[in-house]
């Protein structure tokens, strides 16, 4: 084991192909899969590019997700406590107490039951696309509306507000961060806090109402005393705010903001970038058109191949940990590169090829460990139905501009395309 490595370097961000991660990541994975990395605040930490080591970090409780400990390799930010309810920036047991309230809403069975509704919304957007006529921006008329509607509806967020919170979410994910991102986050939180208060006064049939009226949907196991193995005592006095009266409006707003941003940003960008990738890989698209039964596997392969969570999978060591022959010291920051891990040749044969017939099982596009994406099953249904219907309705779909003119989201934590002009 060594506590030395090459001098810290900045995180590689330059792409030479819109569908491939920076080439420097592959070199690091081959030569030094745990390498020194300089973070935005000037501190030295670590970059992990190997698939097996990435899984190890994401599953090891000695690597923390706490917001008050996290540092970013690209965004200058002060570590700060997470917004109440935003459990992606919490460690167990606090993380588990919140997440437990939601797991019943995002099971495979429940998401499969939503397939008819997903199909209805997808077909509505394709109707609008057809009525508009070519050329159209696929992001604006299809990808973003589908993803936004399908997270607004179960949450209980009025879709009529979508343009506002879509702008806010985009600003929050900017690598520039700063006052504009802070103001966008505060505005979205204020809107959702008001919505939680209104649902408390007049509950509806949606997830926000469930959270404010019962502390979670039916089946969470929260009894009147809170004694159910979650760590809550009868008074609930453990700093989480989860007592027998449920969640307060601040916690509900935090949960809702996390779900709203993640729910529409990731799926919309996968629909847009995934369509771009298929159009640029005609043999793969032809195979999918010839056999729509490949759609499920195609979704998994696109998730692996594109890995749109391109940055910001960050952790902080709580203790000294040996990882890949390097000594990670307590307090040091660690960045896990999902795009690099998902192209690891030790895990996937011919990893740089897009092959919708391969088994992409084990990819890390949804993360790994206790923080693995809660909404991944909903995303899978949306993507499978969305791609299948899009190419069925528009078998001659093609780019309306040269590929090099498609604007890429290189300046956002979630990768994708800003626009995708298409014709047919």
Contacts of 423 (CB under 8 A, 6+ apart): 134, 135, 136, 397, 398, 399, 400
pLDDT band at 1 (very low <50, low <70, confident <90, very high): low
The CATH homologous superfamily to which domain 23-81+91-412 belongs is: Cytochrome P450 (1.10.630.10)
Structural contact between residues 348 and 360, judged by C-beta atoms closer than 8 angstroms: yes
Query: Apex CA 268: angle with CA 420 and CA 263, to 5°?
Result: 165
Peptide bond into 355 cis (omega under 30): no
CA distances for 177 relative to 174, 180, 322, 327, 412, angstroms: 5, 7, 32, 31, 10
Token pair in block for residue 400: 């309306």
Q: What is the pLDDT of residue 82?
A: 85
**pLDDT (average), residues 293-297:** 97
Count of other CB atoms within 10 angstroms of residue 10:
13
Q: Which helix (H) or strand (E) holds 189?
A: helix 179-201
Q: Residue 324: is its pLDDT beyond 90? A: yes
Percent of the chain whose predicted confidence (pLDDT) is above 70: 91
pLDDT band at 361 (very low <50, low <70, confident <90, very high): very high
pLDDT band at 2 (very low <50, low <70, confident <90, very high): low
**pLDDT (average), residues 85-98:** 95
Contacts of 239 (CB under 8 A, 6+ apart): 94
Q: What is the pLDDT of residue 241?
A: 39
Structural contact between residues 418 and 273, judged by C-beta atoms closer than 8 angstroms: no
User: Which of 72-76, 245-249, 313-317 has the weakest average pLDDT?
Assistant: 245-249
Q: What is the pLDDT of residue 317?
A: 98
Q: Residue 237: is its pLDDT beyond 50? A: no
Contacts of 311 (CB under 8 A, 6+ apart): 11, 13, 72, 73, 74, 175, 335, 413
Q: What is the pLDDT of residue 297?
A: 98
**pLDDT (average), residues 254-283:** 96
Token pair in block for residue 262: 């993640």
Token pair in block for residue 316: 């902080």
- Residue 60's Cβ-count burial label (10 Å; 0-12, 13-18, 19+) is middle
Q: How confident is the model over 115-151, as pLDDT tens digits?
A: 999 999 999 999 999 999 999 999 999 999 999 999 9
Interatomic CA distance for residues 152 and 167, integer angstroms: 15
To the question of pTM greater than 0.85 for the whole model, the response is: yes
- DSSP state string for 79-119: --PPPTT-GGG--TTHHHHHHTTTGGGS-HHHHHHTHHHHH
pLDDT band at 215 (very low <50, low <70, confident <90, very high): low
Interatomic CA distance for residues 339 and 344, integer angstroms: 9
**pLDDT (average), residues 355-378:** 96
pLDDT band at 113 (very low <50, low <70, confident <90, very high): confident
Q: Residue 239: is its pLDDT beyond 60? A: no
User: Which of 53-67, 95-109, 350-364 has the weakest average pLDDT?
Assistant: 95-109
Q: Residue 66: is its pLDDT beyond 50? A: yes
Q: What is the pLDDT of residue 329?
A: 98
Q: What is the pLDDT of residue 243?
A: 40
pLDDT band at 247 (very low <50, low <70, confident <90, very high): very high
DSSP helix/strand/coil, 64: strand
Q: Residue 87: is its pLDDT beyond 90? A: yes
Count of other CB atoms within 10 angstroms of residue 421:
18
What count of residues does the chain have?
424
Count of other CB atoms within 10 angstroms of residue 202:
7
Q: How confident is the model over 374-405, as pLDDT tens digits?
A: 999 999 999 999 999 999 999 999 999 999 99
Percent of the chain whose predicted confidence (pLDDT) is above 90: 82
Buried b (16+ CB within 10 A) or exposed e, 156-183: bbeeeebeebbebbbbbbbbebeeebee
Mean pLDDT of the chain: 90
Report which listed range, 158-167, 221-230, 341-350, is most confident.
341-350
Q: What is the pLDDT of residue 138?
A: 98
């Amino acid at each position: 084991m060594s506590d030395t490595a090459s001098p810290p370097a900045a995180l590689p961000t330059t792409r030479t192909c819109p569908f491939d991660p920076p080439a420097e990541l592959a070199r690091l994975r081959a030569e030094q899969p745990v390498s020194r990395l300089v973070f935005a605040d000037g501190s030295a930490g670590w970059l992990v590019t190997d698939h097996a080591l990435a899984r190890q970090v994401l599953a090891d409780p000695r690597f923390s997700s706490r917001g008050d400990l996290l540092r970013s390799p690209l965004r200058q930010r002060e570590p700060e406590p997470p917004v109440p309810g935003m459990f992606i920036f919490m460690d167990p047991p606090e993380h588990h107490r919140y997440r437990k309230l939601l797991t019943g809403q995002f099971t495979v069975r429940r998401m499969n039951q939503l397939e008819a509704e997903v199909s209805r919304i997808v077909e509505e957007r394709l109707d609008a696309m057809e009525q508009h006529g070519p050329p159209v921006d696929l992001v604006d008329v299809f990808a973003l509306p589908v993803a936004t509607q399908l997270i607004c509806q179960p949450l209980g967020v009025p879709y009529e507000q979508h343009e506002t919170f879509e702008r806010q979410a985009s600003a929050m994910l900017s690598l520039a961060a700063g006052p504009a991102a802070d103001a966008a986050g505060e505005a979205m939180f204020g809107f959702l806090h008001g919505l939680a208060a209104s649902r408390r006064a007049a509950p509806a049939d949606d997830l926000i109402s469930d959270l404010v009226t019962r502390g979670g949907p039916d089946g969470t196991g929260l009894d009147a005393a809170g004694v159910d193995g979650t760590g809550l005592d009868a008074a609930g006095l453990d700093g989480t705010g989860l007592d027998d009266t449920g969640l307060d409006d601040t916690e509900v707003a935090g949960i809702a903001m996390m779900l709203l941003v993640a729910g529409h940003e990731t799926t919309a960008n996968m629909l847009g970038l995934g369509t771009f990738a298929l159009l640029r890989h005609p043999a793969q698209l032809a195979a999918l058109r010839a056999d729509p039964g490949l759609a499920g596997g195609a979704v998994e392969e696109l998730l692996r191949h594109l890995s749109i969570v391109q940055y910001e999978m960050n952790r902080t060591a709580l203790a000294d940990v040996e990882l890949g022959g390097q000594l990670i010291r307590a307090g040091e920051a660690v960045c896990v590169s999902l795009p690099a891990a998902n192209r690891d040749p030790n895990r996937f044969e011919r990893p740089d090829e897009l092959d919708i017939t391969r088994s992409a099982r084990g990819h890390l596009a949804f993360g790994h460990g206790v923080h693995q994406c809660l909404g991944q099953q909903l995303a899978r249904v949306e993507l499978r139905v969305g791609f299948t219907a899009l190419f069925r309705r528009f078998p001659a779909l093609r780019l309306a501009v040269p590929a090099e003119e498609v604007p890429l989201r290189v300046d956002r934590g979630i990768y994708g395309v800003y626009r995708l002009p298409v014709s047919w």
